[in-house]
């Protein structure tokens, strides 16, 4: 009897925490439907005028397209580089492997403001300049460890004899890679891709320093907007982004790879 | 290793090597270099070597207080997420109901950017927000408690942002604990609490450490949350860095702040991990 | 000219000689089993023949062609893996069609072959299923027929039956043998299971520490092993070290422990090379102590030390009376059960004593071909 109570107690506790976790997000969504200029919860009157205002705001639109293109390019680059690196880490032994791997893992928690600052100075000093190209490089640096983590986790469970079987059935190394290896690791790579896209889209630390006046990303644009304005158009934009995120998580859940995202973590911090 | 294999590995590893060296190690190295650069009034920086940035930092107690504040925020946030998150992680790992739904609830906040989440807390915790109004309605306080623009708001928002990481880190380790180990402890006479304290808790330590390190570094190094929730009252190294880089345009000093914080964080992480590892082996020696 | 030939294969991993000068030949349509404990090099050898591993030295020839430098996809070899290695993201049809597509068959031909392939292993109609929807035994059969569908010249098996439960293993074994006979397949099968090797193989090669110790027809290997390791591995566990002396009464084996056994040295073995005598536990009979020893029978008084009742058979460990301290293992199927401490007479014939050489022995006899020099 006590055991069941304890189990129920834990379950209740968890529900409470989950409620707290999603409360701020829910609040933002509700606030976005506020009719008045002042942010109040609960809203006294409902309207979707802030959505219209937000969508007409050219700065937001522009920031959205910057974020989307940066995220897209970052995802493509990170996936390729990260998958290649994962193949090397999981399947081969080579000089400097541990160091390279540790450096890669260390970046997972490294304070982004520091890196952002460093990249800012660096890009200017070597004459590379800021803007979209700098954003992409900065995002790649930060998202690469995630890709390596996730794809490596997939590769560890990979039964190599299916590649050997393909070889004995007449397929050369390239065909085996394309027809067998890639399709089998595809769920892991897809998960890594989705995660990278979101991380890049939401990135603040690096983007704050490395964007230039013409290419501000959405989170940074929102941050700047909040400094001066208090109307709910921020909430409207936020809700769009939240809906976006929820859809993506549901896709991830469908793929069945939600645990892989963090499974590899705790073993590899050392 | 055969030659073709060596070439293959090289090709696979070259891109990440480039990224690590050219986009991580080199910029950080360069930043370290600029800590010695001269900041002329009115301009950003000049490559004249000087140690005045360091002396400015080291000899002014104000900066030490900021450092202390930053570390304190890191520590407190870690503690909060650990205390709140451990039971949740335990439930998720050992007795989950609707596991996929839980994972969705846990991971989706992570995909919403930090500005949005902090904004939500701002609305919730503001002087005219629902929390304060409820507290006043219940008669617990006469005037609104300052939650936004204070360090409490910062703690709440940071803990909210970082909780899923702590939970996932701990739960993934807890999941790996074999049920029969706990059963064996019961058979040897341990009560549920004893079994938890002496068997489960020590075994979950790697996840606790990994999660704590992650949360500590992320919260100490957080810019956005103190900037939005602190309202200028909460000074941390990252917010100070931003000031010096964007508004005061004193890049060398900003670099000193950046470098120093990294240095401190690395030290603390290393110290934390090694003592924790020693504790773990001691616990393992205690168990028969 | 032999159909399959391996000559002087060497493979080292660091300081370890996984495969140490292995050579053998095979005729077409024959089944060769590579038998040995784990780590003996049998799997490495198989993988070199498949082309999945490069030998440090040596050559491999198949049907007159030197395939040593060819990649596995060009060798026209089929292989069945221990984990069966079905492509998890493809249907059964796709799995079997994979190799056929690479042979540039038409769609119609492929469809036909897939149907035939599935009928061959009694799994009709499973084309659209995915591997994970099949049982272990079914997956194993699909793996087999997938390899056979490409009509390879040589079939290689890497312990494919070890992941099956016991009963299924025996079933599959019989099916495999029948299939091989019907289709006249040339097969090399790696296993650590003695029963499997002896029942499947026309010829069996016993390997240890990278070398082939003996390669002969299955029954010859079992009944007339040449070297100590092979005899021991195949169950003749009563082994005595010593040498042969010629007495007036006939050939005698003088064991180092002191006892003397009557033996019959076969013509093919030079007496000076004999270092061991071995008797199978099944060949030792426990009689009442009242019988007398006669000239052609070895008889030694013994005392029962341990009894292990296994149902159809009772295993005893007995101590030889006297100062030699020799112990024998006896496998008795008469149904009597003797008690610990009881006395009996252990008897066996001269002919039942296997006379063995030191490992590794010299050349391999008849049948399958040449061994290492």
The three-state DSSP-derived secondary structure of chain B is CCHHHHHHHHHHHHHHHHHHHHHHHHHHHHHHHHCCCECCCCCCCECCCCCHHHHHHHCCHHHHHHHHHHHHHHHHHHHHHHHHHHHHHHHHHHCCCCHHHHHHHHHHHHHCCHHHHHHHHHHHHCCCCHHHHHHHHCCCCCCCCCCCCCHHHHHHHHHHHHHHHHHHHHHHHHHCCCHHHHHHHHHCCCCHHHHHHHHHHHHHHHHHHHHHHHHHHHHHCCCHHHHHHHCCCCCCHHHHHHHHHHHCCCHHHHHHHHHHHHHHHHHHHHHHHHHHHHHHHHHHHHCC
| Dihedral angle computed from the Cα positions of residues A175, A179, A181 and A187, in that order, rounded to the nearest 10 degrees | 150
Give the long-range contacts of residues B42-51, CB within 8 A, separation 24 or more: B43/B249, B44/B249, B44/B250, B44/B251, B45/B250, B45/B251, B45/B252
Identify the domain containing residue B261 by its residue range.
67-112+146-286
Q: Which one of A158, A170, A174, A256 would you mutate to disrupt binding with C, by most C Cβ within 10 Å of its Cβ?
A: A170
Q: Which two tokens stand for residue A196?
A: 């990278």
The answer, yes or no, to whether residue C369 has pLDDT greater than 60, is no
Q: Would B57 be classed as within a structural domain? A: no
* Segment A251-256 long-range contacts (CB within 8 Å, at least 24 positions apart): A251/A194, A252/A191, A252/A194, A252/A195, A252/B107, A253/B100, A253/B103, A253/B104, A255/A187, A255/A190, A255/A191, A256/A187
| B81 vs A105, higher pLDDT | B81
Q: Please say whether the beta carbons of C189 and C82 come within 8 A.
A: no
Judge whether C203 and C215 are in contact, CB under 8 Å.
yes
Q: Which of C83-87, C248-252, C282-286 has the lowest mean pLDDT?
A: C248-252
Kindly indicate the confidence band of residue C295, based on its pLDDT and cuts at 50, 70 and 90: low
Judge whether B120 lies within some domain: no
Which has more confidence, B66 or A257? B66
Task: Please state, rounded to an integer, the average pLDDT across all residues of chain B.
Answer: 83
Residue C361 banded pLDDT, cuts 50, 70, 90: very low
The C-alpha atoms of residue B262 and residue B265 are separated, in whole angstroms, by 5
A51 band by pLDDT with thresholds 50, 70 and 90: confident
Q: Give the closest-approach CA distance of A81 to chain B in angstroms.
A: 6
Q: Which residues of C226-252 are buried (b: 16+ CB within 10 A; e: fewer)?
A: bbbbbbbbbebebebebbbeeeeeebb
CATH number of the domain that residue B76 is part of? 1.10.3720.10
Q: Which of A239-248, B118-127, C30-39, C306-315 has the highest mean pLDDT?
A: C30-39
B23 lies in a domain? no
| Closest partner CB to A198 (pick from B31, B111, B262) | B111
Residue B22 inside a domain? The answer is: no
By the 8 A CB rule, do B119 and A238 touch? yes
Is the CB of A121 less than 8 angstroms away from the CB of B211? Answer: no
Report pTM.
Answer: 0.79
Buried b / exposed e across C131-144, counting CB within 10 Å, b at 16+? Answer: beebeebbbbbbbb
Residue B119 lies in a domain: no
The predicted structure's pLDDT at residue B79: 95
Is the pLDDT at C368 greater than 60? The verdict is: no
**Is it true that the peptide bond before B173 is cis, omega within 30 degrees of 0?**
no
Q: Could you report the per-residue pLDDT of C40-69, keeping only the tens digit for each? A: 899 999 999 999 999 999 999 999 899 998
Instruction: Tell me: pLDDT of A264 over 50.
Output: no
Q: Give a yes or no: residue B162 inside a domain.
A: yes
| A174–chain C Cβ distance below 8 A for any pair | no
- ipTM > 0.95? no
Termini Cα distance of chain C: 19
Give me the pLDDT at residue B284, please.
43
Q: For residue A226, which of B231, B152, B235 has the smallest C-alpha distance?
A: B231
Residue B34 lies in a domain: no
- The pLDDT tens digits for A115-132 are 998 998 888 888 888 888
Taking 80 as the threshold, does the pLDDT of residue A89 lie above it? yes
pLDDT higher than threshold 50 for residue A179: yes
Q: What mean pLDDT do residues A199-227 have?
A: 87
Residues of chain B with pLDDT under 70: 1-3, 275-288
Chains that touch C (3 or more CB pairs under 8 A): A
How many domains is chain B partitioned into structurally? Answer: 1
Report CB contact under 8 Å: B16, A7. no
Q: How many CB atoms lie within 10 A of CB B142?
A: 7
Q: In this predicted structure, what is the pLDDT of residue C14?
A: 85
Interval B204-250: pLDDT, tens: 888 888 889 889 999 998 998 998 888 778 889 999 988 888 888 88
* Dihedral angle of Cα A137, A141, A143, A148, to the nearest 10 degrees: 130
How high is the mean pLDDT of chain C? 87
pLDDT classification of A140: cutoffs 50, 70, 90: very high
What tens digit of pLDDT does each residue of C186-197 get? Answer: 999 999 988 899
Give the mutation candidate from C50, C62, C87, C91 for the A interface (greatest A CB count, under 10 A): C87
Q: Which CATH architecture has domain A57-261?
A: Orthogonal Bundle (1.10)
pLDDT over 90 percentage in chain A: 24
Q: What are the two backbone dihedrals, phi and then psi, of residue A15, each rounded to the nearest 5 degrees?
A: -60, -40
Whether residue B170 is contained in a domain is answered as yes
Winning range, highest mean pLDDT, from A41-50, A71-80, B179-188: A71-80
């Amino acid at each position: 009897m006590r055991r069941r109570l304890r189990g129920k107690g834990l379950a209740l506790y968890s529900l409470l925490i989950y409620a707290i976790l999603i409360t701020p997000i829910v609040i933002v969504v509700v606030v976005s439907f506020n009719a008045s200029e002042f942010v109040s919860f609960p809203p006294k009157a409902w309207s979707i005028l802030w959505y219209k205002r937000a969508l007409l705001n050219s700065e937001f639109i522009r920031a959205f397209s910057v974020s989307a293109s940066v995220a897209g390019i970052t995802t493509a680059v990170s996936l390729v580089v990260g998958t290649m690196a994962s193949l090397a880490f999981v399947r081969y032994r080579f000089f400097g492997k541990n160091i390279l791997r540790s450096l890669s893992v260390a970046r997972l928690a490294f304070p982004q403001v520091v890196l952002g600052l460093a990249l800012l100075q660096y890009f200017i000093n070597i004459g590379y300049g800021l803007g979209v190209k700098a954003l992409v490089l900065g995002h790649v640096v930060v998202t690469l460890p995630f890709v390596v983590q996730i794809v490596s986790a997939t590769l560890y469970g990979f039964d190599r004899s299916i590649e050997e079987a393909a070889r004995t059935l007449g397929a050369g190394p390239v065909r085996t890679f394309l027809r067998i290896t890639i399709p089998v690791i595809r769920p892991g790579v897809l998960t890594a891709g989705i995660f990278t896209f979101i991380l890049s889209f939401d990135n603040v630390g690096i983007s704050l320093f490395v964007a230039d006046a013409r290419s501000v990303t959405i989170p940074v644009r929102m941050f700047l907007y909040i400094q001066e304005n208090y109307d709910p158009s921020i909430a409207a934009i936020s809700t769009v982004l939240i809906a976006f995120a929820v859809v993506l998580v549901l896709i991830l859940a469908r793929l069945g790879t939600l645990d892989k995202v963090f499974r590899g973590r705790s073993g590899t911090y050392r | 290793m055969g030659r073709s294999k060596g070439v293959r590995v090289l090709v696979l590893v070259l891109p990440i090597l480039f990224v690590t060296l050219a986009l991580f190690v080199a910029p950080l190295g360069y930043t370290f270099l600029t800590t010695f650069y001269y900041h002329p009034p009115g301009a950003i920086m000049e490559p004249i070597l000087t140690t005045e940035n360091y002396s400015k930092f080291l000899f002014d107690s104000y900066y030490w207080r900021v450092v202390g504040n930053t570390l304190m925020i890191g520590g407190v946030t870690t503690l909060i997420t650990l205390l709140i998150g451990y039971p949740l992680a335990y439930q998720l790992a050992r007795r989950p109901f609707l596991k996929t739904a839980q994972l969705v609830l846990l991971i989706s906040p992570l995909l919403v950017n930090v500005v949005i989440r902090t904004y939500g807390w701002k609305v919730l915790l503001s002087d005219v927000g629902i929390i304060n109004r409820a507290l006043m309605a219940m008669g617990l306080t006469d005037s609104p408690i300052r939650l936004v623009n204070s360090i409490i708001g910062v703690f709440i928002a940071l803990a909210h942002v970082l909780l899923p990481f702590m939970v996932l880190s701990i739960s993934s380790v807890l999941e790996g604990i074999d049920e029969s180990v706990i059963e064996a402890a019961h058979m040897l006479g341990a009560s549920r609490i004893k079994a938890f304290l002496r068997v489960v808790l020590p075994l979950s330590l790697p996840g606790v450490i990994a999660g704590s390190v992650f949360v500590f570094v992320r919260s100490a190094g957080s810019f956005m949350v103190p900037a939005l929730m602190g309202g200028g009252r909460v000074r941390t190294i990252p917010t100070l860095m931003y000031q010096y880089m964007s508004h005061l345009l004193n890049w060398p000093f900003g670099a000193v702040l950046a470098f120093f914080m990294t240095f401190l964080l690395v030290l603390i992480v290393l110290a934390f991990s090694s003592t924790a590892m020693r504790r773990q082996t001691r616990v393992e020696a205690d168990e028969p | 000219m032999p159909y399959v030939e391996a000559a002087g294969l060497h493979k080292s991993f660091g300081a370890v000689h996984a495969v140490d000068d292995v050579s053998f030949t095979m005729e077409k349509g024959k089944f060769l089993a590579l038998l040995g404990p784990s780590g003996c090099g049998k799997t490495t050898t198989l993988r070199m023949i498949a082309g999945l591993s490069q030998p440090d030295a040596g050559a491999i020839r198949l049907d007159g062609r030197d395939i040593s430098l060819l990649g596995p996809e060009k060798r026209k070899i089929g292989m069945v893996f221990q984990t069966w290695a079905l492509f998890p993201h493809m249907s059964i049809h796709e799995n079997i069609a994979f190799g056929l597509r690479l042979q540039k068959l038409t769609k119609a031909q492929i469809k036909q072959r897939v149907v035939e392939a599935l009928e061959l292993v009694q799994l009709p109609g499973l084309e659209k299923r995915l591997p994970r929807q099949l049982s272990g035994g079914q997956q194993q059969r699909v793996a087999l027929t997938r390899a056979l569908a490409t009509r390879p010249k040589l079939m290689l098996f890497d312990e494919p039956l070890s992941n099956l439960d016991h009963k299924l293993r025996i079933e599959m074994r019989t099916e495999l043998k029948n299939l091989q006979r019907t289709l006249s397949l040339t097969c090399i099968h790696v296993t650590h299971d003695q029963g499997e090797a002896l029942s499947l193989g026309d010829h069996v090669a016993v390997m240890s520490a990278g070398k082939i110790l003996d390669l002969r027809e299955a029954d010859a290997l079992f009944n007339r092993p040449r070297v100590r390791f092979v005899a021991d591995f195949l169950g003749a566990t009563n082994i005595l070290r010593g040498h042969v002396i010629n007495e007036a009464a006939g050939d005698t084996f003088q064991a180092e422990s002191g006892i003397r056994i009557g033996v019959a040295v076969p013509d093919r073995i030079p007496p000076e090379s004999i270092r061991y005598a071995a008797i199978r536990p099944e060949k030792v009979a426990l009689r009442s102590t009242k019988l007398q020893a006669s000239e052609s029978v070895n008889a030694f008084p013994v005392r029962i030390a341990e009894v292990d009742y296994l149902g159809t058979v009772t295993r005893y460990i007995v101590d030889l009376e006297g100062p030699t301290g020799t112990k024998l293992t006896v496998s008795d199927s008469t149904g009597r059960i003797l008690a610990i401490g009881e006395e009996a007479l252990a008897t066996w014939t001269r002919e039942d004593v296997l006379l063995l050489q030191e490992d590794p022995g010299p050349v391999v006899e008849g049948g399958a071909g040449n061994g290492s020099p």
